[in-house]
Amino acid sequence: MPAILVSEVGPRDGLQSIDPILPLSVKTAWIDALVAAGVREIEVGSFVPAKLLPQLADTAAVVAHALKHSGLTVAVLVPNARGAEAALAAGAHNLTLPLSALETHRLTNLRRTHAQVLEDAAAIATLCKSAAYDVHFEGSVSTAFGCTLEGVVTERKVVELAEALMAAGVDEVGLSDTTGYANPAQVKSVVRAVHAAIGTQHLTGLHLHNTRGLGLANVLAGLDVGITTFDASLAGLGGCPFAPGASGNIVTEDLVFMLEAMGLDTGIDLPRLLDVRKILAAALPDEPLYGFTPDAGLPLGFAVARG
């Protein structure tokens, strides 16, 4: 089993933040190529109303295709219980419900208060427990390290929301640096505080952005405090359309290179992963594609880690 799980979020987080609407055929080809490169978890879409995110209107069809890949964990974002019902009907393996640490972002993003989202979390937990197959339900505390709309987020607030999500019945809590505010010391401090409150087994993943160039530094900080799952987006596509200035997902290719260079097994074939960019370059000719590793190439003698 690879030591670190790199969860690819480009088909959801990346596409929701750009204007072009990719055809289903391109999305499925993208997913196929990611799986062929060894990616084991992909967030393939979001069950939100099509009028809000037309880029993701075909999520059910994307899920249906992704489920054809044995061994792939098919993840989706759900905004509420109705979205969760659709996700379960489609057969998604992992459901993530976002809960913004600050109320302003929550109201801007999903037009729901903390109390309403926690009610949804309890309802979704019940739905997942009664599903005909095993489902993993995560409550993600977004803007956990700061927010462009309100600024500072206190550690105490993040812990409070993590505890509330666990009480509502989620299987796990995730932390998201939605607006790229986090720094390594803060990542360590917040993760340790949440671990102390809900247990290390209930916080294993981080969603980090590279908005201010600290994405990979924050990954290292997460590794130091026991985090084993990191979200990333191929070519750095994405951000958050509901938070001003929330650009800069971690580049999957750079993340995998760093982890493998450190001797940490991701299970991903890096040369094949680099080739996946060709699909995006052809389908999104006007979108910038980021990444130092793709630009520089792999160093001479580079060898991947395999546990």
Active site residues: 240
Angle 104-107-110 from CA coordinates, rounded to 5°: 140
Measured CA to CA, the distance from residue 3 to residue 189 in angstroms comes to: 23
Query: Which of 13, 93, 34, 31 lies closest to 268, judged by CA?
Result: 34
Q: How deeply is 133 buried, as exposed, middle or buried, from its count of CB atoms within 10 A (0-12, 13-18, 19+)?
A: exposed
Measured CA to CA, the distance from residue 186 to residue 214 in angstroms comes to: 12
Measured CA to CA, the distance from residue 84 to residue 95 in angstroms comes to: 7
3-state helix, strand, coil in the chain (%, to 5): 45, 15, 40
Strand 73-77 and strand 41-46: pairing? Answer: parallel
> Which strand (E) or helix (H) includes residue 238?
none
Query: Which of 205, 124, 195 lies closest to 155, judged by CA?
Result: 195
**Residues linked to residue 98 through DSSP beta bridges, in sequence order:** 140
Measured CA to CA, the distance from residue 171 to residue 197 in angstroms comes to: 15
CB 88 within 8 A of CB 123: no
Measured CA to CA, the distance from residue 204 to residue 222 in angstroms comes to: 9
Measured CA to CA, the distance from residue 7 to residue 36 in angstroms comes to: 15
Long-range CB contacts for residues 292-300, cutoff 8 Å, separation at least 24: 292/251, 292/254, 293/251, 293/253, 293/254, 293/257, 294/235, 294/253, 298/257, 298/270, 298/271, 298/274
